[in-house]
Amino acid sequence: MKLFGTKEIKTYVEQILHARRDELEGRTVVDVPAGSGHSSRILQSLGAKVAALDLFPDFFRVAGLTCGQADLAGRLPLPDEHADYVLCQEGIEHMADQLHSFAELNRIMKPGATLLMTTPNYGMLRARLSYLLGETEFYAKLMPPNELDSIWFSEGRSDKLYYGHIFLLGIHKLRLLARLSGFRIRKIHHLRANHTSLALLVLFYPFILLTNIAAYRRAMRKRTDIDAESRRTVYRETLRLALDPRLLVDGHLCVEFEKIGTSAETATELRGKYTGFDIET
């Protein structure tokens, strides 16, 4: 993790892709949303077979590549198990149905394929303070989400809208959506620390530590309907993520996921908290 330097996420993604050259060369890589094509250009230079997709492909500008029109809120124009690698850079936070988007990415990926996803970190401490002070992404600078500021682009010729940061998420929601869709975390890249979050970490980490440990112990005692090994596996991973100081100060989340099954397969493995419909509410 860097304390200083650029905040441009595309710079760090470029570094990660170059480090994965051997994994990408000759492989089918889907870049969605591709935007202007910066990462697609990098992937092309590394010898990947690039399939670039975006809601508004007119913005794409890469010599030798074309960008197809695609909506992560719908069905991507690719067959099942098509990709060896998928890059979803700064896209998931714009999706109203994020679980659908994850499931659709899973559908087009081969078994064992990698999904590299980046998104602003709504779990960092500065973001948590911003939500406390004004239910906004950035206190004192941005208004809370509203219809004037939260629609970033409208084509004008159709009902296609590009939403702003309406659907921001932190590591726990990102992990859960991925898990429900047939992914598991392979690696988290820690890029650049947010300085306000670093200062807040000094003040609040003891409280974060105590409250999360208390919640973990309570969950381990309460969920006796689940075997102890499953409880330890899930709750310990969740606790580890909650207490990782780097995730509390990361300005962005940059996570590599591995496809371990289809969304349908995952659904059959999961058990509900409630086993019947005779629940009093």
Structure confidence at residue 124 as a pLDDT band (50, 70, 90): very high
Angle at which helix 9-19 crosses helix 38-45, to 10 degrees, equals 20
Residue found under tokens 């970190």: 121
Q: Which of 80, 92, 82, 104 is nearest to 29 (CA)?
A: 82
Please give the backbone phi and psi of residue 20, each rounded to the nearest 5 degrees, phi first. Answer: -100, 20
Q: Does a structural domain hold residue 240?
A: no
> Residue 147: inside a domain, yes or no?
yes
Dist CA 15 CA 69 (whole Å): 27
Q: What is the CATH number of the domain that holds 79?
A: 3.40.50.150
Cis (ω within 30 of 0) for the bond into 33? yes
Backbone φ and ψ for 85, nearest 5 degrees, come out as -155, 140
Residue 130: the pLDDT is 97
How do residues 173-185 score in pLDDT, each as one tens digit? Answer: 999 999 999 999 9
Does 244 map to a domain?
Answer: no
Angle between helices 98-107 and 171-180 (to 10 degrees): 50
Mean pLDDT of the chain: 93
Whole-prediction pTM value?
A: 0.92
Q: Residue range 134-156: average pLDDT? A: 90
Indicate if the pLDDT at residue 278 is higher than 90.
no
Is the residue at 227 inside a domain?
A: no
- Count the domains in the chain: 1
Is residue 136 a part of any domain in this protein? no
Q: Is residue 214 part of a domain?
A: no
Domain that holds residue 119: 9-123+141-194+250-263
Which residues, 6+ apart, have CB-to-CB distance to 92 below 8 Å?
A: 72, 98, 101, 102, 117, 119, 167, 169, 174
Rounded to whole angstroms, the Cα distance separating 110 from 224 reads 36
pLDDT digits (tens, 9 = 90+) for 162-172: 899 999 999 99
Query: Per-residue pLDDT tens for 32-62?
Result: 999 999 999 999 999 999 999 999 999 999 9
Taking only the tens place, the pLDDT of each residue in 76-119 is 999 999 999 999 999 999 999 999 999 999 999 999 999 999 99
- Under the banding of pLDDT at 50, 70 and 90, the label for residue 275 is low
Q: Is the pLDDT of residue 29 over 70?
A: yes
Closest CA to 174 of 228, 132, 135, 124: 124
In a domain? residue 107: yes
The answer to whether residues 183 and 260 touch, using CB atoms and an 8 Å cutoff, is yes
Residue 72: is its pLDDT beyond 80? yes
At residue 172, the pLDDT reads 98
User: Of 182, 143, 180, nearest to 165 (Cα)?
Assistant: 143
| Residue 255 lies inside a defined structural domain of this protein | yes
Strand duo 151-154 + 49-54: pairing: unpaired
Banded model confidence at residue 160, pLDDT cuts 50, 70, 90: confident
